[in-house]
Amino acid sequence: MDLPVNPPIAPMLAKATTGIPPQPADQPEWSYEPKWDGFRALLFRDGDEVVIGSRGGKDLARYFPEIVDAARDELPDKVVLDGEIGVPSLIEGTHRLDWDSLAQRIHPAASRVTMLSETTPAIFIGFDALALGTTSVLAEPFTTRRDTLLEAIGPGGRDRRFHVSRVTESPVRAQEWFSAFEGAGLDGVVAKRLAGRYVENKREMIKVKHKRTADCVVIGYRIHKSGTGLGSMLLGLYHDGQPRMIGGASAFTDAKRIELQEMFEPMRLDPDKPAAGEPTRWRSEKSGQWIPIRPELVAEVAYDQMENGRFRHTVKFLRWRPDRDPESCGYDQLEVPLTYDLHDVLEGED
């Protein structure tokens, strides 16, 4: 490639805070935008050559051929963009970003990649620009990079794969987005300094994500991949009198893993024969093995979002709730986000 900014490039990162940074009264300092929950991607186009770099440096182009084709059709001949790849789906009558469908796009079989690119096509939502034509804008303020982004992608439309993220300089509007846009599958709000330059691999941005807690019944566990201790505890919520699996909690210390396995062992429903859990997008049939236990323990966990009746991401164990009746742990305790269509987010006025 012969671009003013060539791969590999490490993306600029964000640090988490608990609230949206306020805007100074005298002069605006921040630009706010929705936090898109997809695959972070740096896209490089030099004529017919297109590279899509992940945050970890992996080339995603082979997994998203429809994005590669659209880059050639919709973008300038030489351009470098920063953004997010997502898969829109119609979920309960509302278009939103579908994390499960997106995760399934990473597959080793070329035939399946082709099939998924047609059945669950992705979009690219640009939120920054690094170069256009023969000019690098890495050292330019975000206001200039934003203008470059708009010039590169142009007006959006439902028939296009490339879109531009909305922005606002109003913290009040950003707070409204934080609540309302979650229904479209978004993950919070990001703030960027208007005068800030693009800095590789540095946490120069601010992100505010949704954080909530839920009381769940522990319905099983998996053994750690080392063969010693607990790898993850499986969580459920009651629906129509039966616990329904909604996700898992992991990331325990070595000592805690052993402690939890010793706690759960006497509660096994079948001490001699582990049950095979349904494989997930991250696990094969073999690694999907899990051991069911009596649904007697209630754990309070921290989570960010729900999707299709399950936690979108792995949750964090907080504490035990011996005061809770397991059968009282239902879906009614969960905060339901406002319904907001993805196309309204992409096409609405800033």
Determine, yes or no, domain membership for 255. Answer: yes
Reply yes or no on whether the pLDDT at 349 is more than 70: no
Domain boundary among 146, 175, 209: 209
Same domain, 218 and 202: no
Same domain, 192 and 227: no
Q: Total domain count for the chain?
A: 2
Domain containing residue 156: CATH number: 3.30.470.30
Lowest-confidence range among 103-107, 121-125, 217-221, 331-335?
331-335
Domain boundary among 209, 232, 250: 209
Q: What is the pLDDT of residues 178-205, one digit of tens each?
A: 877 776 667 789 999 999 999 998 989 9
Same domain, 164 and 269: no
* 159 vs 63, higher pLDDT: 63
Same domain, 204 and 216: no
Which pLDDT does position 271 carry in this prediction? 65
Domain containing residue 221: CATH number: 2.40.50.140
Determine, yes or no, domain membership for 229. Answer: yes
Determine, yes or no, domain membership for 8. Answer: no
Same domain, 263 and 171: no
Same domain, 72 and 114: yes
Determine, yes or no, domain membership for 258. Answer: yes
Same domain, 279 and 138: no
* 344 vs 36, higher pLDDT: 36
Same domain, 137 and 283: no
Determine, yes or no, domain membership for 4. Answer: no
Determine, yes or no, domain membership for 2. Answer: no
Write out the catalytic residue numbers. Answer: 35
Same domain, 252 and 124: no
Which pLDDT does position 221 carry in this prediction? 93
Same domain, 298 and 324: yes
Determine, yes or no, domain membership for 286. Answer: yes
Reply yes or no on whether the pLDDT at 24 is more than 70: yes
Q: What is the pLDDT of residues 111-166, one digit of tens each?
A: 999 999 999 999 999 999 999 999 999 999 999 999 999 999 987 677 899 999 99
Reply yes or no on whether the pLDDT at 283 is more than 50: no
Domain that includes residue 134, residue range: 13-209
Domain boundary among 167, 189, 209: 209
Global pTM value: 0.72
Lowest-confidence range among 81-90, 152-161, 277-286, 327-336?
277-286
Same domain, 127 and 195: yes
Same domain, 242 and 153: no
Q: Please write down the HEC assignment for all residues of the chain.
A: CCCCCCCCCCCCEEEECCCCCCCCCCCCCEEEEEEECCEEEEEEEECCEEEEEECCCCECHHHCHHHHHHHHHHCCCEEEEEEEEECEEEECCEEEECHHHHHCCCCCCHHHHHHHHHHCCCEEEEEEEEEECCEECCCCCHHHHHHHHHHHHCCCCCCCCEEECCCECCHHHHHHHHHHHHHHCEEEEEEEECCCCCCCCCEEEEEEECCEEEEEEEEEEEECCCCCCEEEEEEEEEECCEEEEEEEECCCCHHHHHHHHHHHHHHECCCCCCEECCCCCCCCCCCCEEEEECCCCEEEEEECCEECCEECCCEEEEEECCCCCHHHCEHHHCCCCCCCCHHHHHHCCC
Determine, yes or no, domain membership for 163. Answer: yes
